[in-house]
Amino acid sequence: MGGMASTCCRREFLGYGCLGASALALTACGGEEEPSGWTDLIRLDEVPSGSAVKVSAGDRELLVHRSAEDEVQVLSAVCPHQGCAVEVDSQRYVCPCHDSQFELDGELIAGPAQQGLETVTSRVEGGMVRAEL
């Protein structure tokens, strides 16, 4: 008897989840690298032990702190508050803009800056203080 109309309603669900797993190929920049951008700043004997001197290197202003006889530390002179250049004021750095103060090793003494001065990689070579800029 009567034909069965078998209507087949097929709905196809294409259930492909879209996995946005894009593999980022990260290239590791490790390993032994030749130091690049080493710049001479000042002769070590021009910085009395226990004091700091402000120097310019290109368009950067830096602070060379001779923390011990043969130990130096180079800091950025850029105040972390709003970017003025701090000045050496005997045993501390003082920012002329809003009076933030820092120890010679860059530690914050008083704000409005919220953090200390940035350290720059440095070394002494052949009596010359050099920084990696």
Q: Which is nearer to ligand FES, 52 or 129 (CB)?
A: 52
Q: Which is nearer to ligand FES, 100 or 122 (CB)?
A: 100
Q: Which is nearer to ligand FES, 98 or 123 (CB)?
A: 98
Q: Distance (Å, rounded) from C-alpha 38 to C-alpha 16?
A: 54
Q: Distance (Å, rounded) from C-alpha 55 to C-alpha 42?
A: 8
Residue 117 contacts ligand FES per CB under 6 A: no
Binding string, 59-98, against ligand FES, x = CB under 6 A? --------------------x-xxxx----------x-xx
Q: Distance (Å, rounded) from C-alpha 64 to C-alpha 104?
A: 9
Binding string, 26-65, against ligand FES, x = CB under 6 A? ----------------------------------------
- The angle subtended at Cα 108 by Cα 39 and Cα 69, nearest 5°, is 50
Paired tokens of 126: 């052949």
Q: Distance (Å, rounded) from C-alpha 105 to C-alpha 117?
A: 8
Q: Distance (Å, rounded) from C-alpha 103 to C-alpha 105?
A: 5
Q: Which is nearer to ligand FES, 17 or 83 (CB)?
A: 83
- Interface residues with ligand FES (CB under 6 A) are 79, 81-84, 95, 97-98, 100, 112-113
